[in-house]
């Protein structure tokens, strides 16, 4: 039975980096051979990955003593751990449960705050020049009006888009990937299904989509918290009609 998940093993290893900060600068590592470089790269990759985990833990109010992490790692390598394997396993499970509880607590708090922030943003944005509001509550601004056809809810479309939180931070973008997205309009969030049908091919709109027409109270972890009002800039490039099924007798 494995006692540690990879992230918990990494948690011990990354402490080496943290503890070195309090020591005098060490000599550069000898990296003459491929094997030496592989060994160093393994430690470096674990350190970089786990440092991100430690940072997230600290944001949630859980700070682990790096000196003790290092001591436990070194004692374990020497075969003289101060805690028995069974207890270590139980403690690691407790740590994981604690982190899940703190993450849920933070997510719940963020979702509650998003309700008030989202409502305020929607009220203020609706007053801006050029902003139109649909019956369902979607707000949109025409950036460029195209002259092509409009899609139906059953069509597949090709679009460029970027998604942003209310503060303008980007959480997704086909522009960043340099590749348009293709999907069925009945396979996405309700705000997209309704909003993109307003657009003609060649159009570019900016949408503000209420939470209930996006990802709702549960959000879309880990990127999008619950009750998030979202902004999207969408450029409709093409309507891709579904191919008709061949009739019986057709060759």
Q: Is 172 a catalytic residue?
A: yes
Tokens matching residue 115: 């309700």
140, 205, 207, 215: the catalytic one is: 215
Q: Is 32 a catalytic residue?
A: no
Tokens matching residue 147: 């002259």
Q: Is 4 a catalytic residue?
A: no
140, 161, 205, 207: the catalytic one is: 161
Where along the chain do its domains lie? Answer: 6-82, 114-240
Q: Is 169 a catalytic residue?
A: no
Query: Distance between CA atoms of 114 and 211, rounded to whole angstroms?
Result: 9
- Span 177-226, pLDDT tens digits: 999 999 999 999 999 999 999 999 999 999 999 999 999 998 898 889 89
Helix residue ranges per DSSP H, the chain: 6-20, 34-59, 66-77, 85-125, 174-177, 190-196
Report whether 132 contacts 194 (CB < 8 A).
Answer: no
Report whether 229 contacts 122 (CB < 8 A).
Answer: yes
Q: Is 73 a catalytic residue?
A: no
Q: Is 224 a catalytic residue?
A: no
Structure pTM?
A: 0.64
- Span 75-87, pLDDT tens digits: 887 888 889 889 9
Task: Give the CATH class of 114-240.
Answer: alpha beta
171, 205, 207, 239: the catalytic one is: 171
């Amino acid at each position: 039975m494995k006692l540690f998940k990879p992230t918990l093993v990494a948690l011990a290893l990354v402490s080496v980096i943290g503890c070195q900060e309090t020591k005098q600068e060490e000599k550069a590592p000898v990296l003459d051979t491929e094997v030496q470089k592989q060994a160093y790269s393994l430690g470096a990759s674990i350190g970089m990955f786990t440092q991100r985990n430690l940072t997230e833990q600290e944001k949630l109010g859980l700070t682990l003593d790096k000196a003790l992490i290092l001591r436990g790692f070194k004692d374990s390598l020497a075969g003289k751990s101060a805690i028995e394997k069974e207890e270590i396993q139980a403690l690691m499970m407790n740590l994981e449960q604690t982190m899940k509880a703190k993450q849920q607590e933070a997510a719940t708090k963020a979702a509650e705050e998003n309700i008030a922030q989202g409502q305020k943003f929607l009220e203020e944005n609706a007053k801006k020049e050029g902003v139109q509001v649909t019956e369902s509550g979607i707000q949109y601004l025409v950036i460029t009006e195209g002259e092509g056809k409009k899609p139906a809810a059953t069509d597949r479309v090709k679009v460029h888009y970027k998604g942003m939180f209310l503060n303008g931070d980007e959480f997704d973008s086909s522009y960043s990937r340099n590749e348009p997205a293709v999907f069925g309009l009945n396979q996405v969030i309700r705000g997209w299904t309704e909003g993109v049908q307003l657009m003609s091919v060649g159009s570019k709109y900016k949408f503000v989509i209420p939470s209930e027409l996006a990802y709702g109270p549960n959000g879309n972890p880990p990127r999008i918290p619950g009750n998030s009002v979202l902004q999207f800039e969408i450029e409709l490039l093409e309507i891709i009609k579904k191919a008709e099924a061949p009739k019986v007798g057709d060759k």
